[in-house]
Amino acid sequence: MKAILEYDLDDTCDRKSHLRALKATDAYLLLHDIFRVTFRNVLKYEVLDGKTIDNDQYEVLEKLIDSCYVLLEDYNINLDDLE
């Protein structure tokens, strides 16, 4: 089975869609690093930018991370499906 995406690169909207398709892997890798590496490390080690975070900061980050996961769900994006 094959899929072929075709774009009219003279059309502004198609050109942007083409660029999105080309950058999709980079976007996934960025999201993976943010969610699976950065957020996980902050929660696990309670350190951000080399500094230990306090309980208030931890709670705020935890809420922010939860909100980000809700957004992923709202957009029907499952990072595990994209690995």
Mean pLDDT by 10 residues, the chain (83 residues): 96 97 95 91 89 93 94 94 87
Report the alpha-carbon distance of residue 13 to residue 77 in Å, rounded: 23
pLDDT on residue 32:
92
- Rounded distance, CA 51 to CA 74, Å? 32
Alpha-carbon separation of residue 27 from 33, 74, 79 (angstroms): 10, 17, 11
Collapsing DSSP to helix, strand or coil, 6 comes out as coil
Q: Which pLDDT does position 56 carry in this prediction? A: 94
What is each CA distance from 10 to 4, 7, 24, in whole angstroms? 18, 9, 21
pLDDT for residue 34:
93
